[in-house]
Amino acid sequence: MSENDRLPLSDRLANAAFLAVMGLARLLPYERRIPAMGWLFAHLLAPIAGWRRRIRDNLALARPDLPRDEVEALVRAVPANAGRSVAEIYSGEEFTRRIREADPLDGPGLPALEAAFEAGRPVIIACAHFGNYDAMRTALAGRGWPVGALYRPMNNEAFNRHYIPAITAIAEPLFPRGRAGLAAMLRFLKGGGWLALGFDQHDRHAPELQFFDLPSRTVLTPAELAIRYDALILPVHGIRQPDGLSFRVHVGEPVEHGEPAAMMQALNDDLEALVRRHMEQWFWVHRRWK
């Protein structure tokens, strides 16, 4: 029996379907491929996966003031952004070339990033499931800056066999969650590396902070690591532009070192303000509030 045959049949079928769709998508030119995958996620995957219900439930909690028509527009727009992002990741060099040629970095924290690079100072990049996370990694790496990231392998091992090489090709190093990945990540950070860490998902072991005026368990790890290694910490997000293809990579104000909970609350507040301006670009599918 081959290694592939030992995988669950459901995983193999789901992976085969994804590869077939991506194979067809690659036949399209980039400018058509990206919106086509967005349409597919919005109109086919989202209803099957239960995303529409989850988006409505989260919006009812966080934005009960939204009119019904705006909610229904977001029910389609949020999966569309996710589909575009997946297509971009699997577009490899076409995607990264566009970002690097545009050099779309801006924002009040950019001088602090430049100074950290010159000084060899570690950096914690506080990021979220917003816009396209990999646009941010691509833009930073395009400047020659040492950006690494922590990632969680997918539950579907068949999918991991192409997903991990795809995200590694965008920028590296990457560190898998787990003991070995954590040890390598800390060595990288201690040596002056820049580490992208997400902070916008529920963690049942984390303390309750506020996000959209709701109790939201928020990890303190980014702030704790910044304090431990005297690292600069600031938010960086890839904001999809109105054309649906290009990005502005916004570098926010650095967060002053202090109490970890206060530092992470500042990052929650910054992200909330950004999401309120671009509601369709945050991944409202996650179970952020439980």
> Which residues span the domain enclosing 89?
4-281
Which residues in the chain come in under a pLDDT of 50? Answer: 1-2
The answer to whether position 288 is within a domain reads no
The CA distance from 284 to 271, in Å, is 13
What pLDDT shows up at residue 153?
A: 81
What pLDDT shows up at residue 217?
A: 97
The answer to whether position 287 is within a domain reads no
Residue type, 52: R
Whose structure tokens read 């969650």?
177
Cα distances from 143 to residues 72, 105, 260, in angstroms, run: 39, 10, 29
What pLDDT shows up at residue 8?
A: 84
Q: Do you find a cis peptide bond into 153, omega within 30 degrees of 0?
A: no
The answer to whether position 286 is within a domain reads no
The answer to whether position 290 is within a domain reads no
The answer to whether position 221 is within a domain reads yes
What's the CA angle centered on 182, arms 181 and 183, to 5 degrees? 95
pLDDT tens per residue across span 233-248: 999 999 999 999 999 9
Work out how many domains the chain is built from and give that number: 1
Burial 130-161 (b: 16+ CB within 10 A, else e): bbbbbbbbbbbbbeebbbbbbbeeeebbbbee
